[in-house]
Structure 1
Amino acid sequence: MVQGIVAGPWSIVPALLAISLAWYTRDALIGLFAGIVAAGVILGALHPQAVGVPADLVTVGGDLGQMHPQGDGDPWSIGVGGVVLGALFGLKFVPEIMANAPMFGAWYVENVLLAIFAIGGMIGLMIRAGAIQGVLQALTARADSAADVEKAAFLAGVAVHIDDYFNCLVVGSMMRPLTDAFDVSRAKLAYYVDSAGSPAARLAFYSTWGAAMVGFMGGGLVEAHKQGLLPSRMSDFVSTGGESVSAATGAVWPLFFNTLFTGFYSWVALAIAALVAWQVVPNLGPMKREESRARAGNGVLGEDADPMIAEEMDEYEMSETATPDWRNFAVPILTMIVVGLGAMFWRGSPVVFVEGKTGTTLLSIAGWELVAPPSGPWAFNIGGVQLGIASFTALVVAFALYRFKGDIPSNKDATDALLVGFKGILLAAVILTFASSIQKAVSLLGIASFVTNVFGGLPAWIIPVGVFGVTSFVSFADGSSWSTYGIMFPIAIPLAFATGANLPLVLGAVFSGGIFGDHASPISDTTVLASSTSGSDHMVHIRTQMPYALITAAITALLFLVGGLVLPSGFQVIPY
């Protein structure tokens, strides 16, 4: 297995290449893959013997000066021939980097990768069984004006928050006929879909996001352990066995729960979208022009608009045997939530356990105390979310329900619907796989230790807002929050420990910066999906949404600045 090295400034090259190419090509996948390849090339160039370059070529001349490929303080020079051959043979590291990415660990596969496909399959089944059409009809019966429709679009986005892809695919397709009927512009619909997609999904700890974020955070904690920065009280957050170190995923959940309170961008984005829907915040700039034209009856799209439509999902129709019924939508979604939450409070494997004797203080948060009741000892358990179980249970319930009711007439029709849903969600799975691989790649090059050495002397109070700013830039450039998390968590977590910054606040800054890119970048997958399923011109959607995204980012930055100044390093909402 490929071993990590201390690459110094070279460690940031794969991340910069991934960001630059993603922006230039408008394709996050190209950028991510190029970054992974670059990591393999650099590993081979700086450690040519590891890829089979003969020793007499490796140690010639000192053409490139002295390097420390193994980080052991024993300098040796690499000749040009060794560098060139090492870089070429370093390509053999690429499949090894991807195969050993956190994504392919058993927990990650079960709770993230397979869960994404289960959710995609449910989308296909719901469309075919008339579940989504049923929700649309229920909303239509209660809408009397454009203002009502805007509120419904926002609330639908918040309600369907299991996954940002699920949100965009379902809400945009479901609400478009209703918003068209009341002359609400397609750009306005796309704004509601986008503003309640990733921001709300980020807060849904029982969703694919919760499981994925715990995995990304685990990678950052492992990096901190390797640098000797992980506090002893958090030693159970990593598992060591022989030469390998991995995250103890179950132990990370309490730390993740703290970030639900510090993920400021999600809360602010949802608040602003709600205020827009309730007509408290006015339509700004380009959005005002779009809405004025639509309300005047001159079309929900401009004359020169080039609307994006997710053709396969949009053209996939409800079965002739289906009866539109909102309950067909509610039952599988509630099943997923109930099973996911049930697993959290199952006593078999708690990851948060608080207990105390009668009258003792259990928790103390900002002057507020939770005291054990006088009737006797008290205990509270929170276990890890089992998203794999929850999503597949919901998928089975949906399949059985629709077949039993006859909304889907045959098993073949049902499996065809599943395949349509799998295809619609495939991009999310591929991006997540590549994001996990880039996390592995930059960790092998020692990017966290390089950044910690360079910025470790900064005052703790500036770290949260600084991390938010850098993460926002990265996510806007590469268009993917998950790939951004793969790059940033191995940097931000060790930096927080090295500077004494409040850890939940720094984690919230990384989460928030990633959501900004998902919300605002023209190459963001969810932003493209929001335009596509809403039938909006993509660049019109970007221009009309940008003022709201920038206002949200400014308020978020201020909150992280204030939080960095007033919150002590040990502050936590939930014990971890």
Structure 2
Amino acid sequence: MGLFILNGFSLADTFGATAGLFFKLVSQAWIVKTLGFALLVGSVVLLIENSGGIGGFIHYVQKKHSIITSARASLLLAYFIGILIFVESSITSLIAGTVSRPLTDSYGVSRAKLAFVCDSTSAPVCSLLAINGWGALLLGLISTQILDGVLVADDIDILLRSIAYNFYAMAALVVTFLVVWFNIEIGPMKNAVVINDSSKNYGSGKIGHMVYPILLMILLVFLFLYITGSGNILKGSGSSSIFYTMIFTVVLSILYYKIDGVMSIKQGVFLSLRGIRKMIPIATILLFAFGIGEVTNELKTGLFLASFTSNILSPHYLAFIIFLLASVMSFSTGTSWGTFSIMTPIAIPMAVAMNAEVPLVMGAVISGGVFGDHCSPISDTTIISAMASECDVVEHVKTQLPYAVISGLAASVMFILFSYI
């Protein structure tokens, strides 16, 4: 429909533009690498499952040491993994879902609830602890405003103060913890499908068969961020890093399992290809999501919304309106980073012209980007969280939305309140 509008309502031109759009998408290295990451996730998960590593992990935390003994504890495991692994949102969701899913299944926790916990800790934590690509992007966007003469300030100081006003991320983490601790189920989550997998046999391998590949994954992300950033982790490429990480994790895991006598190289390669095939539908959804984002960007929806409201705002409501605009834009395009890139050069000049608090307005941009991305059915983190939890994407979006809206309302109140203060 977007291309139909852009091409003057001509069907012939729309079909041509559609082909051109997908050719353009698969010509972009970062998109190809992100799709490659999504496919290779299936390989890693299947290798770990067939090595018996998950069985070893379950035995260790449930029977040997009685660490995880309840549904709440199994979800708290996913929650704290999401907080501790803040290097990259996709990796965060993947590890939290893969590690916790067998345990949540055994305690009758719906996979929709696990997907919610994975999704609600990944992007919010990455945007708060910005010692990663998120921080690098935001710092670069703020620095551009200083170079353009809009701001006369220190970019790092502005970034740190903006993160302190990232109210949505803070609210999402608090709400998620309360939902887990008190087992709060509202809206569609009450009717989420529960797959009681307590009888599933994950084998009886060693805990190391699961832990070592996951530790390797975390270390490799840092390594490739360092390499792609030419010695600076903050300047590393997220898409390249996660793609190279998954390739090396698959290869080294197969070699490790071969040396440990778990499987042959041939079996490892066969399982990897089976895992890739399993992820093709998810990669296809991601590709279409990128396509929708590209079309929405060409329609300049975000710029229209921003210009539409710029002349009717009070400084007391600027941060709140910027938060709403960024939320709508991020939801529509499925990308928080794209939203940051569009909204920062709009929001900061508006804040300066209206004598509003720049870090507060920038915090609203970050919060809105994360909120919209969190709710969006075409967001890569939404799709990957559902994939890692083996939950249907549509079910994940429906069940997560009420909780995200509660966090969004809390953030809205905070932006209005702090604007007056």
Task: Establish whether TM, by shorter chain, passes 0.5.
Answer: yes
The 5 Å alignment of 1:443-454 reads 443=300, 448=303, 451-452=306-307
Alpha-carbon distance in 2 for matches of 1:265, 1:560 = 10
Alpha-carbon distance in 2 for matches of 1:427, 1:415 = 18
Alpha-carbon distance in 2 for matches of 1:206, 1:428 = 29
Judge conservation of contact 1:165–1:428 (CA < 8 Å) in 2. Answer: no
Judge conservation of contact 1:120–1:424 (CA < 8 Å) in 2. Answer: no
Alpha-carbon distance in 1 for matches of 2:419, 2:21 = 36
| 2:235 corresponds to | 384
Which of 246, 249, 252 is equivalent to 1:395? 246
Judge conservation of contact 1:321–1:409 (CA < 8 Å) in 2. Answer: no
The reply to whether residue 196 of structure 1 matches residue 121 of structure 2 is yes
| 1:490 corresponds to | 342
Q: 1:255 to 1:384 in 2, by over 3 A?
A: farther
Alpha-carbon distance in 2 for matches of 1:470, 1:335 = 36
CA shift, 1:455, in A, is 2.0
The reply to whether residue 121 of structure 1 matches residue 10 of structure 2 is no
What is the SS of the residue equivalent to 2:125?
Answer: helix
1:281-316: CA deviation from partner (whole Å, max 9, x where unpaired):
5625559x95xxxxxxxxxxx6xx65699xxxxx9x
Q: 1:177 to 1:418 in 2, by over 3 A?
A: closer
| Structure 1 unmatched runs, 5+ | 1-33, 43-83, 223-228, 236-251, 291-301, 310-314, 348-381, 567-576
The 5 Å alignment of 1:177-192 reads 177-192=102-117
CA shift, 1:177, in A, is 2.9
| 1:465 corresponds to | 320
CA shift, 1:495, in A, is 4.6
| Structure 2 unmatched runs, 5+ | none
What is the SS of the residue equivalent to 1:346?
Answer: coil
| 1:41 corresponds to | 8
CA shift, 1:439, in A, is 5.5
| 1:45 corresponds to | none
RMSD: 5.0
| 1:233 corresponds to | 149
The 5 Å alignment of 1:285-296 reads 285=186, 290=190
Q: 1:417 to 1:155 in 2, by over 3 A?
A: farther
Alpha-carbon distance in 1 for matches of 2:116, 2:305 = 39
CA shift, 1:386, in A, is 3.3
Q: 1:136 to 1:187 in 2, by over 3 A?
A: same
Q: 1:178 to 1:341 in 2, by over 3 A?
A: same
| 1:481 corresponds to | 334
Q: 1:433 to 1:207 in 2, by over 3 A?
A: farther
| 1:437 corresponds to | 294
CA shift, 1:194, in A, is 3.2
Q: 1:180 to 1:418 in 2, by over 3 A?
A: closer
What is the SS of the residue equivalent to 1:324?
Answer: helix
Give the TM-score taking structure 2 as reference length: 0.70
Alpha-carbon distance in 1 for matches of 2:13, 2:370 = 37
Q: 1:454 to 1:266 in 2, by over 3 A?
A: closer
The reply to whether residue 272 of structure 1 matches residue 175 of structure 2 is yes
Alpha-carbon distance in 1 for matches of 2:129, 2:274 = 26
What is the SS of the residue equivalent to 1:41?
Answer: coil
CA shift, 1:260, in A, is 4.3
Judge conservation of contact 2:225–2:238 (CA < 8 Å) in 1. Answer: yes
The reply to whether residue 559 of structure 1 matches residue 410 of structure 2 is no
Judge conservation of contact 1:339–1:390 (CA < 8 Å) in 2. Answer: yes
1:451-477: CA deviation from partner (whole Å, max 9, x where unpaired):
43752452344222112123334555x
The 5 Å alignment of 1:329-344 reads 329-340=214-225
| 1:513 corresponds to | 368
| 1:151 corresponds to | 76
Alpha-carbon distance in 1 for matches of 2:389, 2:14 = 44
Alpha-carbon distance in 2 for matches of 1:413, 1:537 = 26
What is the SS of the residue equivalent to 2:7?
Answer: helix
The 5 Å alignment of 1:215-364 reads 232-233=148-149, 260-277=163-180, 279=181, 283=184, 285=186, 290=190, 324-340=209-225, 346=231
CA shift, 1:336, in A, is 1.0
CA shift, 1:269, in A, is 0.8
Q: 1:386 to 1:531 in 2, by over 3 A?
A: closer
CA shift, 1:450, in A, is 8.0
Judge conservation of contact 1:195–1:270 (CA < 8 Å) in 2. Answer: yes
1:121-165: CA deviation from partner (whole Å, max 9, x where unpaired):
255224314487255555434213344223213223334556555
Q: 1:120 to 1:338 in 2, by over 3 A?
A: same
| 1:10 corresponds to | none
Judge conservation of contact 2:96–2:118 (CA < 8 Å) in 1. Answer: yes
Alpha-carbon distance in 1 for matches of 2:394, 2:41 = 30
Q: 1:267 to 1:139 in 2, by over 3 A?
A: farther
| Code of the aligned partner of 2:36 | F
CA shift, 1:516, in A, is 2.7
| Code of the aligned partner of 1:481 | G
CA shift, 1:400, in A, is 3.9
Give the TM-score taking structure 1 as reference length: 0.54
Judge conservation of contact 1:122–1:398 (CA < 8 Å) in 2. Answer: no
CA shift, 1:273, in A, is 1.8
Alpha-carbon distance in 1 for matches of 2:85, 2:315 = 38
Alpha-carbon distance in 2 for matches of 1:429, 1:492 = 25
1:66-109: CA deviation from partner (whole Å, max 9, x where unpaired):
xxxxxxxxxxxxxxxxxx8xx976876666677778x966xxx3
Q: 1:273 to 1:342 in 2, by over 3 A?
A: farther
Which structure's CA Rg is the greater one?
1
Equivalent pairs counted in the alignment come to 399
Alpha-carbon distance in 2 for matches of 1:428, 1:537 = 12
Alpha-carbon distance in 1 for matches of 2:229, 2:71 = 40
Alpha-carbon distance in 2 for matches of 1:343, 1:272 = 36
| Code of the aligned partner of 1:267 | M
Alpha-carbon distance in 2 for matches of 1:40, 1:163 = 37
Alpha-carbon distance in 2 for matches of 1:535, 1:307 = 12
Q: 1:214 to 1:442 in 2, by over 3 A?
A: farther
Alpha-carbon distance in 2 for matches of 1:537, 1:415 = 22
Q: Which has the higher strand share?
A: 1
The reply to whether residue 548 of structure 1 matches residue 407 of structure 2 is no
1:403-459: CA deviation from partner (whole Å, max 9, x where unpaired):
32215522633651573476365246415632552365135x9x7378437524523
Q: Which has the higher helix share?
A: 2
